[in-house]
Structure 1
Amino acid sequence: MSDEPEFGKVVVFGVGLIGGSFALGLKATEQVDEVVGFGRSLATLKQALDLGIIDRVGANAGQEVADADLVLIASPVGQMPEIMARIAPYLGAQTVVTDGGSTKMDVVASAREHFGDKIGQFVPAHPIAGAENSGAAAARADLYREKKVVLTPLPENTVLNVARVRSAWEWCGAQVHELSPSAHDRIFAAVSHLPHLLSFALVYDLAVREDCDQFFSYAASGFRDFSRISASHPEMWRDICLANRQALLEELDRYRAHLDVLRDALDKGDGDVLERTFDVARKARRDWAEGKVK
């Protein structure tokens, strides 16, 4: 560890699970002098201050980002364009901006619109370390330890700016990878956004039934594991699904096609089709769980 912290001042928009854990991760490794927080709720900001996540509550966004080393936009993706518009005119020449959004094509489009010729100062990122709980109280310093963070660098980014963002996440303990924005959105539509949509749909289907209490009273570990992510933040996942809707629609159509195959097999009593499908899924899931798929 160096004697001097790598980052003097870090400004975080959104001090909940993602932004708060980022701040705590840098603080735990003593790689930041000061963290300034912004958010929609004064109560959340006060909680973040009391928990030591931030050192100050920001009052003037333009003034704070002008001399910041690093800015993290950790709000729901639907709120990012407004934040970008607020800070773009005031960015210091050496200030690097990144984000924690779960979609990238829409975030990059907004960044290009609002940052203009400063787009090289924006390095998109996505930490793969969410949880069903949200808010400042859910933040923790080790959230990103041994977790993946995906950077989707832009052609305008300098090597130094990408390295600074990479370094920040690595100080938080993350394993940093790179994808293009389009590849990112295609992949995460399948392995993140679709599972959330399905989990929300299943729990909703049960919740609106007249005898829902009876169903929930008999639900056990299988339901608990599958439905865990339906406890995630509704606003955040609304924004994610809409932002990545084209890729998500494609994945949903593929999934529906597989469901139709299984439904047909059930209707015909075709156990061979069911078993073959289950066997492929079982092997793939075990290989992934055992670390055979990197």
Structure 2
Amino acid sequence: MLNKITIIGVGLIGGSLAKAIKATKLANIVCGYGRDQSRLEKAKKGNIIDELSTDMAEAIKDADIVVIATPVGTFNQILKEIEPFISDQVIITDVGSTKTNIVKIVNEVLVKKSKCFVPAHPIAGKEKSGFEVSVPDLFEDKKVIITPLENNAPESTKIIHDMWSAVGADVDFMSPESHDELLGMTSHLPHMLAFSLVNYLVSQNPTASIYAGGGFKDFSRIASGDAVMWRDICLQNKDQITDHINGYQATLSELKDAINSDNSEKLELLFRTAKNTRDSWVG
């Protein structure tokens, strides 16, 4: 059992990880760090965390693992605050949805101490945010991707691997670049489509949602995601996201051409291929 795990940012992901750590007795103490004392006190009262602090040095003191669970746009500042208190005994990790840019920031800010940072990303979440909607089983049977740095000690990477395995996750390893390419397709692009669809609907007819069926609600659900988080993801993974938007626009053009040319065979092929592919995923 670890002595202390500190979570910076006790929101949906941070709060769920805290609950999972406590449920599995992975650490003696789960400490929550944040800027809002009242929010942290509510999290402690709800038994999500054991200790709280708004002082970075205090929060990190004696921690075996520090998990950064804030929007990726905050990492530069947070790492600067953490750097003076990093020792060889602590492992820093994260839950960020982008990796290439985070690794770049880690190397620039932490320099030699970057060996203490093991990047990770749990592919889990909800469209709602805040520790109020956190659950201890959020990561069960979900993928977690670790993108180790070249100077990470094998034992440090194993500790982070084992932490995620202990809370029920299925852990994979890949490069930061491969992560961003993959998540750009499977996560970032779908969110862009959902945001755009809702905005398009409102721009065309603000009352149209009254008549929206279950399909629209299912497709647009993730448009309820946190705006700040997704703003930061776009800025940090912009090349991959814009490439995939361009690629998706090409598939829409193909579909539009098939519709305009009354190409029933092409339309049926497109729809049947998509149906069979999705059915095989969920089946």
TM-score (ref. length: structure 1): 0.94
Aligned length: 283
Counterpart-to-counterpart distance in 2, 1:62 and 1:107 = 22
Q: Is the 8 A contact 1:18 1:130 kept in 2?
A: yes
**CA RMSD across the alignment:** 1.1
Q: Which letter maps to 1:285? A: R
Aligned to 2:22: 27
Q: Which residue of 272, 279, 282 corresponds with 1:286?
A: 279
Q: CA deviation at 1:43?
A: 3.4
Counterpart-to-counterpart distance in 2, 1:265 and 1:43 = 57
SS in 2 for 1:186: helix
Aligned to 1:105: 100
1:167-246 → structure 2 map (5 Å cutoff): 167-209=162-204, 211-213=205-207, 215-246=208-239
Q: Is the 8 A contact 1:13 1:75 kept in 2?
A: yes
Aligned to 1:60: 55
Q: Is the 8 A contact 1:199 1:226 kept in 2?
A: yes
Counterpart-to-counterpart distance in 1, 2:229 and 2:117 = 22
Q: Which residue of 110, 121, 127 corresponds with 1:115?
A: 110
Q: CA deviation at 1:63?
A: 3.5
Q: Which residue of 54, 57, 64 corresponds with 1:69?
A: 64
- Return 5+ residue gaps in structure 1 as ranges: 1-5
Q: Which letter maps to 1:278? A: F
Deviations 1:53-97 (A, max 9, x none): 111221321233242100000000001111111001111221001
Q: Is the 8 A contact 2:35 2:54 kept in 1?
A: no
Counterpart-to-counterpart distance in 1, 2:57 and 2:100 = 25
Q: Which residue of 144, 160, 164 corresponds with 1:165?
A: 160
Aligned to 1:276: 269
1:40-55 → structure 2 map (5 Å cutoff): 40-55=35-50
Q: Which letter maps to 2:239? A: Q
Q: CA deviation at 1:208?
A: 3.1
Aligned to 2:255: 262
- Return 5+ residue gaps in structure 2 as ranges: none
Counterpart-to-counterpart distance in 2, 1:7 and 1:110 = 28
SS in 2 for 1:150: strand
Q: Is the 8 A contact 2:100 2:180 kept in 1?
A: yes
1:80-99 → structure 2 map (5 Å cutoff): 80-99=75-94
For structure 1, which segment, 36-45 or 6-15, has the greater mean C-alpha deviation from structure 2 after superposition?
A: 36-45
Aligned to 1:127: 122
Counterpart-to-counterpart distance in 1, 2:170 and 2:158 = 13
Deviations 1:174-223 (A, max 9, x none): 111111100000000001000000000001111234x422x111111100
Counterpart-to-counterpart distance in 1, 2:203 and 2:227 = 17
Counterpart-to-counterpart distance in 1, 2:277 and 2:174 = 23
Counterpart-to-counterpart distance in 2, 1:125 and 1:174 = 12
Identity in percent: 40
Q: Which letter maps to 1:242? A: L
Aligned to 2:245: 252
Counterpart-to-counterpart distance in 2, 1:43 and 1:208 = 39
Q: CA deviation at 1:133?
A: 0.9
Counterpart-to-counterpart distance in 1, 2:200 and 2:59 = 46
